[in-house]
Amino acid sequence: MKQAWTVLVDVDGTLAGKYRGERRPLRPGAAVALRRLSEVAEVYLWSVAGRGNPERLLREYPELRPHVRGTFDKSALLPDRFGRAICIDDEEIDPAVLARERIIVSTYDAGDQDDGLLVSAADRIVAAILTSRSG
């Protein structure tokens, strides 16, 4: 049996921008990207700011929850916890990210403009996973 895939998605700058009052702006396409990823892999949100940060994002945007299996603190995540994992992040600085295959997207600060990079990254990962299963 082939090993299941896991996708680890960063919160700040990747899925959401900086707080504006009580909420962070969600990157357009975030729900679409997470839904597509969850169809082929287990999806976890993680943050260097701790596990509570992605949990707050899921409370802010409950429509994301059906596509997310859980949350992690990047610094507490054991590198060997997942066999086949890939990260989506906006920075290539965290050791947990650098230890994995990754796709880096531009940092999202806010606004309604969607550069499409998050959905494109999700589509590339989905294609890679489907290819690996057929091979």
| Distance, CA of 116 to CA of 88 (rounded, Å) | 14
Model confidence at 78: pLDDT above 80 = no
Mean pLDDT over 63-69 rounds to 97
Tens-digit pLDDT profile for residues 36-52: 999 999 999 999 899 99
Boundaries of domain holding 36: 5-92+106-134
Residue 32 lies in a domain: yes
CATH no. for residue 81?
3.40.50.1000
Residue 76 has pLDDT above 90, yes or no: no
Counted domains in the chain: 1
Q: What is the mean pLDDT of the chain?
A: 87
Name the more confident of 109 and 127: 127
